[in-house]
Amino acid sequence: MSVFAIADLHLSLTTNKPMDVFGAGWQDYVARLEEAWRDAIGPEDTVLIPGDISWGISMEEALADLTFLDQLPGMKILSKGNHDYWWGTNKKVEDFMAEHGLHTMKVLKNNGFVVENVLVAGTRGWLLPENPESKEADQKIYVREVGRLERSLADAAAKCEDENLMKVAMLHYPPIYDPNRENGFTTALERHHIDLCIYGHLHGRGHLKAYNGEKNGVKYQLVAADYLHFKPVKIS
């Protein structure tokens, strides 16, 4: 069993939201994603998807996108992105998936999972305090998201009996830009001895801002779909 990651699928199978307006790299992205996914991933594998899954604004609008994902090989662990307007409470999402026979997806929010030899935790994240676009209202959301990450990390750790497991955190927003600066996310990840933090959200020229490297024992890796050329990356 292997663990893969890819964020920012931005599926819109029943909504009019073409992604190729963001550049030629998004042309035929759904077909490219499916081909790469089926080439790399088997039914026993797990795929981590940290946010921006569907453009649907309700669970009904997102159903075709979720069904598409469900029919791809492997188990999927989903967390929320800033464009996942369809996302409700854990119970609502889980009940909706069960009602529609979507059995290959798990929801990550204020909780954690142990998948074979990997501990998985995470949250959506938010704008960092250092971001010049961050306002007072954003600071409150940032603090809340740091708390959610802490709860997820604690829940995953409580389910883990093997301290030698690889520890992975998945966030949608970048938890770091400058490795010389600290914030609530990096502090939590370091305190819980996370090995790898994957994240998305950045597209196009935004890829240039991504930090792909190690800080105080934590490796950070951008896994946005367009950055990966729509090929899920193996992390374990």
Number of separate domains in the chain: 1
Instruction: Give residue 118's identity as a one-letter amino acid code.
Output: V
Beta strands, E only, the chain: 3-5, 46-50, 75-79, 105-107, 113-115, 118-123, 166-171, 196-199, 213-215, 218-222, 233-234
* CATH number of residue 18's parent domain: 3.60.21.10
The parent domain of residue 207 ranges over 3-234
Among 207, 171, 208, CA closest to 82 = 171
127-171: pLDDT as tens digits: 999 998 899 999 999 999 999 999 999 999 888 877 789 999 999
Which structure tokens are listed for 129? 């305090």
105-123: pLDDT as tens digits: 999 999 999 998 899 999 9
164-178: pLDDT as tens digits: 899 999 999 999 999
| pTM across the whole model | 0.96
Rounded mean pLDDT of 208-228?
97
